[in-house]
Amino acid sequence: MPELFKLIEEKEIDKEWRWTYSVEFEFIFNNLIINEITITDHPWKKKGREKITKELILNILNKELNDHKAKPTNYQGQRKVFIRKRVYYDHKKYKLVFWFKDGTDNHLWVKNCHQQD
pLDDT tens-digit map of 8-18: 999 998 888 89
Domain ranges, residue 73: 5-115
Please state, as a whole number, how many other Cβ atoms lie within 10 Å of the Cβ of residue 43.
Answer: 9
Q: Is the pTM of this model over 0.95?
A: no
For the cut 90, the answer to whether the pLDDT of residue 1 exceeds it is no
How would you list the strands of the sheet with 92-100, edge to edge? 5-13, 16-29, 32-41, 107-115, 92-100, 79-89, 74-76
> Between these two residues, 75 and 24, which has the higher pLDDT value?
24
> Between these two residues, 72 and 20, which has the higher pLDDT value?
20
Q: How far is the C-alpha of 35 from the C-alpha of 107, rounded, in Å?
A: 6
Q: For the chain, what is the mean pLDDT?
A: 84
For the cut 90, the answer to whether the pLDDT of residue 75 exceeds it is no
Listed in sequence order, the DSSP H helices in the chain are 54-60
CA atoms within 13 A on the CB side of 12: 4
The predicted structure's pLDDT at residue 95: 82
Q: Report the number of distinct structural domains present in the chain.
A: 1
Reduced to 3 states (helix: H, G, I; strand: E, B; else coil), residue 116 is coil
